[in-house]
Amino acid sequence: MTHTTKPFRIHEGRNIKRFREMLGIKQEALAFELGDEWNQKKVSILEQKEIVEQSILQQVSDVLKIPVDAFKNFDEEQVINIISNTFNTHDQSSGMNLYPTINVNPVEKWMEAVEENKKLYERLLASEREKVALLERLLGEK
């Protein structure tokens, strides 16, 4: 039994959507920039197409300032593989940890917060005592 694998195809419409979303642009805004004949629904349909006409790719490229080749060649799976193979938590050559280790003792932080609360309570209590003393003085004068 022979297995044949279906050739992988880049989904150009999905790539347009990915880049649009990475740039934080809504479908309505892209439609507006593409011109009067465009609307949100037409952009949505465009993003569902596996293959997009060259002229439309060029228009989208001009609006998003992204090369046409990016829409034609972007493969998310390859990007993930590149990132996972490129970035490790340790630099193999120097043995250095590329990500800093942050040691936070939660009990210590909690005790700091308790101490701060005590100080705030003491200041509030002192302020209330001052108010009481002032009121007693004012009442004593009358």
The residue to which tokens 């909690």 are assigned: 110
Answer whether 0.85 is exceeded by the pTM: no
Q: Using CA atoms, how far apart are residues 115 and 121, in angstroms rounded to an integer?
A: 10
- Residue 63: domain span: 12-86
Q: Which residues of 19-38 are buried (b: 16+ CB within 10 A; e: fewer)?
A: bbeeeebebeebbbebeeeb
What CATH number does residue 51 fall under? 1.10.260.40
In a domain, 96, yes or no: no
Residues 82 and 123 both lie in one domain: no
Q: Are residues 81 and 24 in the same domain?
A: yes
Question: What confidence category does residue 98 fall into, taking pLDDT thresholds of 50, 70 and 90?
Answer: low
Q: Does 82 share its domain with 16?
A: yes
Of 60, 86, 112, the last residue of a domain is 86
Give the number of domains in the chain. Answer: 2
pLDDT of 70 reads 84
Per-chain mean pLDDT for the chain: 82
pLDDT for res 101: 61
Residues 78 and 118 placed together within one structural domain of the fold: no
Q: Mark whether 77 and 16 lie in a shared domain.
A: yes
Give domain status of residue 5, yes or no.
Answer: no
